[in-house]
Structure 1
Amino acid sequence: METASSFSDTRRLAYSTSLSLLWRVIRNWRARRAVVRLDALDDYLLHDIGVTRADVRWASGLPLTVNAALEPEERATRRRRGR
């Protein structure tokens, strides 16, 4: 039989998990907005920071469960290493 304490612990865990997911989605949404602003830069500036316009556009289409600000650099690094 489930006690009231374990039931409230389960509810707290579910609430905490939901809240954590919400904050992660908000953080990733903000990161995506920053990535989208990179698309306004010219190709020379993008080259200086080590990404291509294709990297930026690809990252801006990623799901909100992924931090789009980290992905263009990762993709560029994999490309440079020949993967």
Structure 2
Amino acid sequence: MSLTAYDARRSTSGLVVDKARTALRLAASLAMNMVRAYRARRTLSMLASQEDYMLRDIGVSRSDLYAALSTPATEDPSMVLARLADERQKAERSRRRAVARNRRTMG
């Protein structure tokens, strides 16, 4: 089975259309990620205006907020904030366990 000139043109144009679709999907994905990051930055900026005791109540610190907001503009800072808050909680649990162990061995 041989390709005719028409078949070759059709397969080439199909390839171009596929590449264009891929480029459009990539551009749309990038745009959505940037919008999501912008909204998260705006939310974290509003959160930064809260009092320190309110931030502690939700498990974050002001330095966590500033660290999250210092990420590149294309990166979602809420993911950074979640990771920092999780690390803080794990460290606090570990510290409490160590204190409890020391009390048991001392007392």
| Corresponding residue for residue 5 of structure 1 | 14
Instruction: Give unpaired runs (5+ residues) of structure 2.
Output: 1-7, 92-107
Q: CA deviation at 1:63?
A: 1.4
Find the residue that maps to 1:50 and give its secondary structure. Answer: coil
Regions of 4+ moved over 3 Å = none
Match of 2:23 among 3, 11, 14: 14
More helix by share: 2
Q: CA deviation at 1:59?
A: 0.9
Q: CA deviation at 1:21?
A: 0.5
Highest CA radius of gyration, 1 or 2? 2
TM-score (norm: length of structure 2) = 0.69
TM-score (norm: length of structure 1) = 0.87
Q: CA deviation at 1:48?
A: 0.2
Instruction: Give unpaired runs (5+ residues) of structure 1.
Output: none
Find the residue that maps to 2:78 and give its secondary structure. Answer: coil
Contact 1:43 / 1:52 at 8 angstroms: preserved in 2? yes
Percent identity between matched residues is: 32
Match of 1:51 among 52, 60, 73: 60
Distance in 1, matches of 2:24 and 2:73, equals: 20
Paired residues in the alignment total 82
Q: CA deviation at 1:81?
A: 2.0
Q: CA deviation at 1:71?
A: 2.1
